[in-house]
Amino acid sequence: MTKQVDASRLRGSIVPLVTPFTVEDEIDQQAVRSLIDWQLASGSHGISVTGTTGEPSALSLGERETMIRLAVEATAGRAPVLAGTGTNNLKETLHLTRVAERSGADAALVIVPYYNRPSQQGLEAYLRRVADSTSLPVVVYNIPGRTAVNLLPETLARIAEASPNVVGVKEAYTDLQQVSDILLTLGRDFLVFSGIEALCFPMLALGGAGHVSATANVLPHEVAHLYNLTQAGHWDEARDLHYRLLPLNEALFLETNPGPVKCVLGWMGKIHPGLRLPLIGPQPAVQRKLAAALKDWAIQAPLPAAAGGA
């Protein structure tokens, strides 16, 4: 029987939410709720949890389940929830995808298995197995810098042809030719989301459906506005905003994501900025660069750009 898949709401700026921790290193559920309310009030078009920015590898399965359920509950239908359910373990991915479906998430974000370095045939078999296990729309997450393998457009096309609920891909790959090849091969209705901050605007210009940008944690209105401007046909204004965002986009990735993002959110008073080892907060030199990049956005850092250690 053909699955009835509704991915109509998956558009625009879908913020990849950080996972805030308390000083006791537990998930700060109140902070999650507050962040979601702030994101939606600021214009974000969707919420994603337990993707890369949400530190999934530092969370237990139970904690990932908690984040998925909490996101659905806190969002309360106001925007779609894209639940990160992928791991490099098939059974765990199937389990989390079932949790997302039962919890009422709108779609599952399934990362290409990391560390295993599978062949294209292995990727096809794995992702088809996950897609066929659920009635949810599935967005594949291709991020070769984290997984050590690139999902090729022809492989994605075979997966989507065999599993029609595979409706899109989050592309965190720097080759825009690959994005063009995906849209050419799978059709312009296939949902391609930018997973690279500097490529949000270029991917929209190619026909992308939106972006899943870590910068939206800090500047939700502006990152959502970038999408809104292109949809309204205001390409010159969107281009200007793209270039205005670039310095902060770069600063937020001077150390491993989400360290700098959490640092800034801590400065803003939104969360306790704690990370779980092996990740640690940004070093003083990076903090100074973050502070400098934030000056254009009226976000005050607790130290001047020239202060601190080397």
First to last CA, the chain: 62
pLDDT of amino acid 208: 97
Residue 166 main-chain phi, psi, to 5 deg? -80, 100
Burial of 252 (0-12, 13-18, 19+ CB in 10 A): buried
Q: Is residue 114 a part of any domain in this protein?
A: yes
What is the Cα 278 distance to its own chain's centre? Answer: 21
Q: Is residue 307 a part of any domain in this protein?
A: no
Residue 70 main-chain phi, psi, to 5 deg? -65, -40
How crowded is residue 301: how many other Cβ atoms within 10 Å of its Cβ? 19
Among the listed residues 169, 166, 106, the one whose alpha carbon sits nearest the alpha carbon of residue 133: 166
Q: Is residue 250 a part of any domain in this protein?
A: no
Q: Is residue 191 a part of any domain in this protein?
A: yes
Given a contact cutoff of 8 angstroms between Cβ atoms, the answer to whether 214 and 257 are in contact is: yes
How crowded is residue 160: how many other Cβ atoms within 10 Å of its Cβ? 24
Collapsing DSSP states into helix, strand and coil, what is residue 17? Answer: coil
Q: Is residue 305 a part of any domain in this protein?
A: no
Record the tokens describing residue 232, joined without a space. Answer: 């309204």
Q: Is residue 253 a part of any domain in this protein?
A: no
Instruction: Walk along the chain (310 residues) in steps of 10 and give the mean pLDDT of each run.
Output: 71 98 97 98 98 96 98 98 97 98 98 94 98 98 94 97 97 95 96 97 97 98 98 98 97 97 97 96 96 91 54
> Which CATH number is 238's domain given?
3.20.20.70
Residue 54 identity (one-letter amino acid): G
Q: Which residues of 38-48 are buried (b: 16+ CB within 10 A; e: fewer)?
A: ebbebbbbbbb
Q: Is residue 174 a part of any domain in this protein?
A: yes
Q: From CA 162, how far away is CA 189, in angstroms rounded?
A: 17
pLDDT of amino acid 3: 60
Q: Residue 82 is inside which H or E element, if any?
A: strand 81-84
Residue range of the domain that includes 213: 12-244
How many residues in the chain? Answer: 310
Collapsing DSSP states into helix, strand and coil, what is residue 45? Answer: coil
Give the residue numbers annotated as catalytic, written as ranges: 141, 170
Residue 157 to residues 72, 128, 183, 286, Cα–Cα distance (Å): 30, 11, 10, 40
Given a contact cutoff of 8 angstroms between Cβ atoms, the answer to whether 165 and 131 are in contact is: yes
Among the listed residues 73, 14, 78, the one whose alpha carbon sits nearest the alpha carbon of residue 41: 78
Residue 228 to residues 20, 236, 246, Cα–Cα distance (Å): 28, 13, 18
Q: Is residue 169 a part of any domain in this protein?
A: yes
Q: From CA 73, how far away is CA 78, in angstroms rounded?
A: 10
Q: From CA 157, how far away is CA 190, in angstroms rounded?
A: 10
What's the total number of domains in the chain? 1
pLDDT of amino acid 309: 41
